[in-house]
């Protein structure tokens, strides 16, 4: 409106005043020094609901829902910049909040520098944009839901998917899916989710279709229309029969205690339709009053349409699978008729009497079929017949059993056989179909295979030992060469030039020699420990231990290898003073893990040792903020001589974690690691918790 106008002449001022007064949007002239409103036009009076004399006694910040300092900062920007525009919330005299777009900038009137502000109400525009965005998102959800639902042919999976979709975008304290059968006019619960947990749907009894105008599900089924009930209890009272439930029990609605707070207050009742016929109902329920909007109802209706189709597909698939199973059963019965099976087939009565056999009983076992019919099957079992009776008792109704046993041939020899037994229809009754397969050759082949596998395993172990030995020699020669070279270099310098060196220089070389000697000693110690672990020479001598003092000692010893940038921290969930552990093995575990944490955190950071109890385990966690371990190398972390590809020049033999794992194993514990390259590392050691007893 003003565009940095400078009003100097009275006639110009009158013209500007006329434009100001006639403007259809709220206009203000503001003192930039303190934000006080100097002038307000009639449109401002109409929009905000304040008389003009009230507006001119207000500060412009009084209209905002922002701190005054922030408003003054915006006014300062307006004074410095040309025509600033921003969107904020303003409060009207009625208390209503409106979203407005403020256009402001400097104006000079009769030599006085002021600010103008024009306010445009954009509330409806913003609401329309939000509604459009919401509907677009809903359409996307419906499209994606259709894709997810169409991928499953299992009803429970379909309903689980529906629950996740609904619960992700609206209140959903309970979700119930019911199926309606028009033949018996019963509504049966098929699926229940209550407070996020699946419940047994069969615990809710079937409900008869209510008379017209009664109930909630019945109303949706009769009319085919969805219901948005923001006072659910009022509608529920119209039902003749209704049930409620919680995590413990199902009860009739009238039996729910009046003091119960978690009752359904809002609901969306949406019919499931196929070819225009209602086949079920989806109920989305909330404890809150007025929990659902028309948009929520629209979304559940769209999802219900997808669920009805997916559910029908699942039902058709299940029916086809049942028909296929029946066909396969019929084919099995048909094959029994033919006497061409290479396996021995026996048909037994429920009492174990042989009803029929096939030719294989003669070919494999040497029995003529006529001689077996009418005999008890236990005649095949060598030894005590009580074992044969136990087999028959184990075959319960509608069950199928498998096993292996030895069968007595007609000539008295033994034949090892695998068997299966199951109930089948037989005439007007049922019988047991027993199939016996001769595994004599397989047993021989298995023996040969086991022999070959043992030989292969032995060769593989020998090859691994050769590879390990070669790797050991390579690592040792490489790791020992560097400290030896440093020792030699420093000793040569001392021998040749010590007279020219200052005392500090000589001490520096001596310290370097000591450091390298210590490194050689540590590597030698690691190699000896690895050798002991590989030979099973690690003992296990648990004894009562003051764990608090022990952990403090570990950190104090490790502090000697740390840099000033490292911060070693020990915490525990309580005071562990008398715990039964092997002190020597625990020292190997914690010293290795803490030393590694320091070594592989060259930039410093926190090194944390945390001890706590979890169930029956005592848990030690050692964490750092160092270089981390590439995810692809975590599986090889405890292999001897393995080192990460990102360790660079950091020294090490790759034996420490193997020693740690062996020490943990001796305690009967476990060790796991969480890490990522550049994300630090946390080792978690779980050892059985044993507190020392006092007599």
Whether the predicted pLDDT of 536 surpasses 70: no
- CB atoms inside a 10 Å sphere around CB 438: 19
The residue to which tokens 């089924």 are assigned:
221
Note the pLDDT tens digit of each residue in 358-375.
888 788 888 876 778 888
Q: Read off the pLDDT of each residue in 100-115 and give the average, rounded to a whole number.
A: 85
Note the maximum CA span of the chain. Answer: 135
pLDDT at position 639 is 75
Whether the predicted pLDDT of 211 surpasses 80: yes
Return the DSSP state at 185. T
Whether the predicted pLDDT of 535 surpasses 50: no
Parallel/antiparallel/unpaired status of strands 605-614 and 566-572:
parallel
Whether the predicted pLDDT of 103 surpasses 60: yes
Whether the predicted pLDDT of 528 surpasses 90: no
pLDDT at position 3 is 47
Instruction: Check the CA dihedral 371-377-380-385 and report its sign.
Output: negative
Whether the predicted pLDDT of 694 surpasses 60: no
pLDDT at position 684 is 94
pLDDT at position 685 is 93
User: Measuring CA to CA, which residue among 529, 547, 691, 531 is closest to residue 610?
Assistant: 547
Are 103 and 13 contacting, i.e. CB atoms less than 8 angstroms apart?
Answer: no
Whether the predicted pLDDT of 158 surpasses 80: yes
Least reliable range by pLDDT among 38-47, 68-77, 337-346: 337-346
pLDDT at position 78 is 67
Least reliable range by pLDDT among 162-166, 262-266, 393-397: 393-397
Q: Rounded to an integer, what distance in angstroms lies between the CA atom of residue 114 and that of residue 13?
A: 14
Least reliable range by pLDDT among 223-227, 329-333, 613-617: 329-333
Provide the pLDDT confidence category of residue 2 given band limits of 50, 70 and 90. very low
Provide the pLDDT confidence category of residue 55 given band limits of 50, 70 and 90. very high
pLDDT at position 637 is 79
The residue ranking higher by pLDDT, 332 or 555, is 555
CA 574, 578, 580, 583: dihedral to nearest 10 degrees?
90
The residue ranking higher by pLDDT, 16 or 533, is 16
pLDDT at position 572 is 94
| Angle of helix 155-167 versus helix 294-337 axis, rounded to 10 | 160
The contacts of residue 97 (CB under 8 Å, 6+ apart) are 65, 89, 90, 91
Whether the predicted pLDDT of 328 surpasses 80: no
Residues forming a β-bridge with 688: 617
Radius of gyration (C-alpha) of the chain in whole angstroms: 42
Whether the predicted pLDDT of 206 surpasses 80: yes
Whether the predicted pLDDT of 576 surpasses 70: yes
Parallel/antiparallel/unpaired status of strands 6-7 and 97-109:
parallel
Provide the pLDDT confidence category of residue 41 given band limits of 50, 70 and 90. very high
The mean predicted confidence, pLDDT, of the chain is: 80
Return the DSSP state at 573. S
474: left (phi over 0), alpha (psi -120 to 50) or beta: alpha
pLDDT at position 365 is 83
The contacts of residue 539 (CB under 8 Å, 6+ apart) are 582, 666
Whether the predicted pLDDT of 623 surpasses 70: yes
Most confident among 73-82, 197-206, 435-444 (mean pLDDT)? 197-206
Whether the predicted pLDDT of 403 surpasses 60: yes
The residue ranking higher by pLDDT, 519 or 164, is 164
Note the pLDDT tens digit of each residue in 449-495.
888 788 877 777 567 555 555 555 555 555 555 566 557 767 777 77
pLDDT at position 612 is 95
pLDDT at position 607 is 93
Residues shown for the chain: 695
User: Measuring CA to CA, which residue among 588, 602, 604 is closest to residue 671?
Assistant: 588
Most confident among 64-73, 266-275, 442-451 (mean pLDDT)? 266-275
Residues forming a β-bridge with 145: none
Least reliable range by pLDDT among 34-38, 67-71, 224-228, 526-530: 526-530
Provide the pLDDT confidence category of residue 286 given band limits of 50, 70 and 90. very high
Q: Read off the pLDDT of each residue in 75-82 and give the average, rounded to a whole number.
A: 69
Q: Read off the pLDDT of each residue in 154-170 and give the average, rounded to a whole number.
A: 85
């Amino acid at each position: 409106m003003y565009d940095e106008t400078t009003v100097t002449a009275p006639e110009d001022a009158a013209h500007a005043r006329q434009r100001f007064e006639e403007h259809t949007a709220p206009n203000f002239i503001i003192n930039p020094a303190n934000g006080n409103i100097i002038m307000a036009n009639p449109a401002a009076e109409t929009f905000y609901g304040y008389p003009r004399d009230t507006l001119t006694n207000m500060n412009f910040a009084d209209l905002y829902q922002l701190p005054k300092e922030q408003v003054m900062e915006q006014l300062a920007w307006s004074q410095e910049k040309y025509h600033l525009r921003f969107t904020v919330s303003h409060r009207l005299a009625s208390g209503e909040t409106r979203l407005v777009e403020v256009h402001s900038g400097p104006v000079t009137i009769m030599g006085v520098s002021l600010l103008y502000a024009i306010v445009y109400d954009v509330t409806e525009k913003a609401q329309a944009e939000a509604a459009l965005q919401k509907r677009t998102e809903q359409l996307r959800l419906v499209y994606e839901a259709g894709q997810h639902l169409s991928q499953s042919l299992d009803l429970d999976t379909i309903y689980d998917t529906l629950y996740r979709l609904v619960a992700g975008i609206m209140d959903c304290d309970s979700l119930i899916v019911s199926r309606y059968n028009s033949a018996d006019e019963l509504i049966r619960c098929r699926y229940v989710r209550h407070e996020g947990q699946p419940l047994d749907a069969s615990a809710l009894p079937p409900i008869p279709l209510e008379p017209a105008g009664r109930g909630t599900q019945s109303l949706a089924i009769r009319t085919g229309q969805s219901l948005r009930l923001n006072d659910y209890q009022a509608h529920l009272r119209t039902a003749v029969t209704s049930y409620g439930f919680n995590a413990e029990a199902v009860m009739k609605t009238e039996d729910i205690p009046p003091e119960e707070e978690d009752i359904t207050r809002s609901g969306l009742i949406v019919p499931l339709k196929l070819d225009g016929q209602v086949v079920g109902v989806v109920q989305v329920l909330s404890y809150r009053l007025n929990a659902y909007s028309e948009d929520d109802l629209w979304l559940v209706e769209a999802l219900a349409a997808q669920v009805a189709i997916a559910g029908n597909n699942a039902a058709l698939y299940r029916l086809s699978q049942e028909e296929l199973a029946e066909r396969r059963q019929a084919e099995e019965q048909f094959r029994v008729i033919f006497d061409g099976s290479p396996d021995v087939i026996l048909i037994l009565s429920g009492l174990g009497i042989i009803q029929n056999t096939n030719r294989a009983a003669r070919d494999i076992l040497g029995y003529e079929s006529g001689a077996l019919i009418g005999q008890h099957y236990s005649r095949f079992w060598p030894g005590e017949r009580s074992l044969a009776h136990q087999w028959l008792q184990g075959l319960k109704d509608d069950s199928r059993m498998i096993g292996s046993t030895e069968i007595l041939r007609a000539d008295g020899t033994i034949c090892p056989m695998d068997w299966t037994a199951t109930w089948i229809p037989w005439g007007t009754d049922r019988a047991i179909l027993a199939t016996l397969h001769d595994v004599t050759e397989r047993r021989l082949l298995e023996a040969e295979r086991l022999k070959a596998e043992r030989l292969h395993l032995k060769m593989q172990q020998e090859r691994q030992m050769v590879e390990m030995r070669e790797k050991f020699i390579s690592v040792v020669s490489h790791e020992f060469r560097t400290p030896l070279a440093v020792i030699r270099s420093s000793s040569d310098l001392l021998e040749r030039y010590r007279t020219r060196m200052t005392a500090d220089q000589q001490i520096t070389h001596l310290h370097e020699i000591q450091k390298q000697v210590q490194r050689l000693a540590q590597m030698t110690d690691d190699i000896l420990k690895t050798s002991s672990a590989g030979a099973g020479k690690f003992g296990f001598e648990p004894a009562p231990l003051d764990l608090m003092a022990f952990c403090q000692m570990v950190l104090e010893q490790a502090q000697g290898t740390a840099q000033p940038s490292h911060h070693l921290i020990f915490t525990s969930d309580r005071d562990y003073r008398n715990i039964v552990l092997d002190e020597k093995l625990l020292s190997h575990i914690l010293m290795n893990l803490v030393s590694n944490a320091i070594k592989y955190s060259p930039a410093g950071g926190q090194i944390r040792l945390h001890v706590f109890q979890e169930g029956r385990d005592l848990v030690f966690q050692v964490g750092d903020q160092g270089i981390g371990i590439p995810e692809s190398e975590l599986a090889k972390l405890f292999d001897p001589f393995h080192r990460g590809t990102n360790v660079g020049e950091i020294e090490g033999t790759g034996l420490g974690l193997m020693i740690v794992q062996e020490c943990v194993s001796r305690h009967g514990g476990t060790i796991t690691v969480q890490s990522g390259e550049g994300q630090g590392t946390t080792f978690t050691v779980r050892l059985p918790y044993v507190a020392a007893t006092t007599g």
